[in-house]
Amino acid sequence: MMRRSRRRGASYVIVLLGLVALAATATLSVDLGMLLAARQQLQNAADAAAVAAGLELCLGHSTTEASTMAKTYLTKNGASGIGAISGNSGDTSTIQFANDNSKVVVGAKGTAGLIFGNLIGGRPGAKRRAA
């Protein structure tokens, strides 16, 4: 009778370890999904900002007006929600004009909130996208 109770205790430990591994795997998959969603959001915002700035230049406006329009479109497309625009001089987004203003390059960098990464002492996932 003594052997049976020892076996039962061992199976509880194995089941508990399996549940911990399952929870860790699920949390990591959620973190990966959050990183991919933030990356796509940044790409969409950078694309929209580049198109808006290019249109401003085609309409004969200055690069200052084009930069303002690009920042407006970055904000409208959610870049500020993931840290790409902070509203002050420390913005992590960049807007560059090249080839005599015939080329617009918009870069945006943001962070994605992590669940498992924060639990183990990691930092939020940073993503940089350019259009």
Q: Tell me, what's the pLDDT at 18?
A: 96
Q: Where in the chain are the domains? A: 2-130
Residue-wise pLDDT for 67-99, tens only, equals 889 888 888 887 765 555 544 444 567 888 888
Residue-wise pLDDT for 38-60, tens only, equals 888 888 888 999 999 999 999 99
Task: List CB contacts of 30: < 8 A, sequence separation 6 or more.
Answer: 115, 116
For all residues of the chain together, what is the average pLDDT? 78
pTM: 0.70
Element (H, E) at 78: none
